[in-house]
Structure 1
């Protein structure tokens, strides 16, 4: 009779071990949308307008990130391991700037490397992207909100 109990104990140990290992597997989650390089390749600087950009890659999903002179697309990748807090492992911001006549002036992709905003890809006509201070604020403040900030103290 001792044999079946030993087998059951081993099986239970294997099940607990497998469950604990599976619980520590990273869970990757993406929020937002940033067009891929292939999608952006279809945008012709100096030719395309807001309407043609909207047809090619869509409009930004958040109204607060859409301004008259530029559209910003933001995508975050979060990694959660076990009971730890989610960690932001990747952030991409695509900035498409429009000139006074409504045509595309610049297409830039920014990333977050070691806590610093860097330009990953840039197609510029004449001037640098307008609103870099907005991007700096976006990278510094994104994810730093609490419910108290919006709802106020109780």
Structure 2
């Protein structure tokens, strides 16, 4: 009789715990990707006053440097909402572009947000390559029998120039 009473009292507790665990998996979390901005530090960068060294000591290393010259640094930060089973959804995006002159002094500081973001659809075409198309088994067993059983260089009587 006592065991039935205990089992009846435990069942609702177990059901509540299981429902809590199941519902917690559906929760939203926010995650910052990239540079973590400190508004005071970012606003402290002044054109004509700061140089590369002071920018790097204040903000740290940039997320990206310009591709063809070292005169523009980008600090990129994106806050996304992560939900189970769905793609991350960007909620906040900020890019700070710091431009330098040839002497390394800051000439311009630009800030971009979500309004400046653009969707880019990459081309799905494939670049043709030279060679053969190999199936799974050709890739796995393709080198069987291609090499002779000779010993590696330097392991026998015919040592190479270094050994």
TM-score range, shorter chain: 0.5 to 0.7
Structure 2 alignment gaps of length 5 or more: 127-134, 136-163
Alignment check: 8 A CA contact 2:46 2:109 kept: no
Change (3 A) 1:49 1:63: closer
Change (3 A) 1:68 1:93: same
Deviation (angstroms), 1:64: 6.2
How far apart in 1 are the matches of 2:64 and 2:99? Answer: 17
Deviation (angstroms), 1:91: 1.2
How far apart in 1 are the matches of 2:56 and 2:28? Answer: 35
Structure 1 alignment gaps of length 5 or more: 118-135
* Structure index of larger Rg: 2
Change (3 A) 1:80 1:66: farther
Q: What SS does structure 1 have at the residue aligned with 2:62?
A: coil
User: How many residues get paired?
Assistant: 122
How far apart in 2 are the matches of 1:66 and 1:11? Answer: 63
TM-score by length of 2: 0.62
Change (3 A) 1:23 1:92: same
* Residue 140 of structure 1: aligned partner: 119
Alignment check: 8 A CA contact 1:97 1:107 kept: yes
Q: What SS does structure 2 have at the residue aligned with 1:47?
A: coil
How far apart in 2 are the matches of 1:28 and 1:42? Answer: 27
TM-score by length of 1: 0.65
* Residue 81 of structure 2: aligned partner: 79
How far apart in 1 are the matches of 2:54 and 2:72? Answer: 14
* Residue 43 of structure 2: aligned partner: 41
Deviation (angstroms), 1:92: 1.0
User: Root-mean-square deviation (CA), in Å?
Assistant: 2.8
* Residue 7 of structure 2: aligned partner: 5
Alignment check: 8 A CA contact 1:98 1:106 kept: yes
Alignment check: 8 A CA contact 1:96 1:106 kept: yes
In the alignment, is residue 27 of structure 1 matched against residue 6 of structure 2? no
